[in-house]
């Protein structure tokens, strides 16, 4: 409804009771939707470009890493990016226009082609906020000379849950039931050993126990 109102020509302000909107409130989905629809999202001047950029990036801002300006040398720059590439936290970076192209290339190579929001000249006349990807930005500034002050917001690493080895769990449950442990005790041990919810472990243990009783 909000996006539709904007498309009809209305201006919408996102405010919160305290702090910066989009940092500690549920405004992120609205900001992201607006960016995806190519609707300009403008931050109100705040204490720093970090919070201003995060407030209009449409990314998780509950936890983020601020790297400041990346190292000038490629080797040091890539080493720093390697340190944070596996962390699931949004990354905020400052970059000077004359180093932007090289930094974007390294970011895409080390972190992979992640979603990124480029904020240029925040709170100034030529302010620009673009939702894109690291590879698209790297290509853009290979041939285009960047002008202005840049703050880059990059999505964190996507966490992958390890696959659950249900066969190993079934075998472990059988072994524990043979020892005479109760279903509840078996479930507790299985949940701890395999890092699965105790409710799932209990259902599995109960199922195995009933099959043993019926055999």
Q: What is the pLDDT of residues 149-202, one digit of tens each?
A: 999 999 999 877 678 888 999 999 999 998 989 999 999 999 988 888 899 999
Give me the residue label for tokens 């992958």. Answer: 160
DSSP secondary structure letter of residue 99: G
- Using the predicted structure, report yes or no on whether residue 77 has a pLDDT greater than 80: yes
- Helix-then-strand count for the chain, H and E: 9, 5
CA 68/CA 185 separation, integer angstroms? 50
Is pLDDT at 47 greater than 80 in this prediction?
Answer: no
Name the pLDDT band for 145 (thresholds 50, 70, 90): very high
- Looking at the predicted structure, is the pLDDT value of residue 2 above 90? no
d(CA 27, CA 21): 7
Q: How far, CA to CA in Å, does 191 sit from each of 172, 185, 195, 202, 211?
A: 11, 10, 5, 8, 20
Contact between residue 114 and residue 86 where contact means Cβ atoms under 8 Å apart: no
- Which regions of 79-140 does DSSP assign to beta strands (E)? 90-95, 115-120, 128-133
Strand-pair partners of 119: 129, 151
Q: Which residue has the tokens 């840049």?
A: 150
Q: Where are the beta strands (DSSP E) in 24-168?
A: 64-69, 90-95, 115-120, 128-133, 150-154
pLDDT value of residue 108: 96
User: pLDDT value at position 23?
Assistant: 63
How does residue 138 score in pLDDT terms, banded at 50, 70 and 90? Answer: very high
For residue 165, give the DSSP letter: -
C-alpha span between 63 and 61 (Å, rounded): 5
Average pLDDT over residues 139-155: 94
Sorting pLDDT into bands at 50, 70 and 90, what band is 140?
very high
Quote the pLDDT of residue 25. 61
pLDDT tens for each residue of 5-41 = 888 888 888 877 655 666 656 678 888 888 888 888 8
Identify the pLDDT of residue 136.
96
Q: Are 63 and 125 in contact (CB under 8 A)?
A: no
- Residue 206 pLDDT exceeds 80: yes
pLDDT at residue 182, as a whole number: 92
* Conformational region of residue 113, where left means phi above 0, alpha means psi within -120 to 50, and beta covers everything else: beta
- C-alpha 120/C-alpha 127 separation (Å) is 6
Note the pLDDT tens digit of each residue in 83-120: 999 999 999 999 999 999 999 999 999 999 999 999 99
So what's the pLDDT on residue 9?
87
What is the pTM assigned to this prediction? 0.64
pLDDT value at residue 20? 67
How many CA atoms are closer than 13 Å to the CA of 37, on its beta-carbon side? 14
């Amino acid at each position: 409804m909000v996006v539709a109102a904007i498309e009809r020509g209305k201006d919408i302000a996102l405010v919160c009771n305290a702090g910066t909107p989009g940092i500690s409130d549920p405004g992120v989905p609205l900001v992201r939707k607006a960016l995806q629809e190519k609707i300009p999202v403008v931050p109100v001047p705040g204490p720093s470009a970090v919070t201003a950029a995060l407030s209009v990036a449409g990314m998780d801002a509950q936890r983020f890493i601020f790297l400041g300006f990346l190292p000038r040398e490629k080797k040091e720059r890539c080493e720093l990016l390697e340190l944070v590439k596996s962390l699931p936290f949004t990354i905020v970076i400052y970059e000077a226009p004359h180093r932007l192209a090289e930094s974007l290339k390294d970011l895409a190579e080390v972190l992979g082609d992640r979603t990124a929001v480029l904020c240029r000249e925040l709170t100034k006349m030529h302010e620009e906020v673009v939702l894109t990807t690291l590879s698209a930005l790297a290509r853009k500034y290979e041939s285009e000379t960047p002008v202005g002050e840049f703050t880059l917001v990059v999505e964190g690493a996507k966490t992958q849950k390890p696959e659950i080895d249900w066969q190993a769990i079934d075998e472990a449950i059988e072994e524990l039931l043979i020892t005479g442990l109760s279903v509840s005790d078996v479930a507790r041990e299985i949940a701890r050993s395999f890092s699965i919810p105790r409710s799932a472990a209990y259902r599995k243990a109960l199922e195995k126990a009933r099959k043993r009783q019926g055999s």
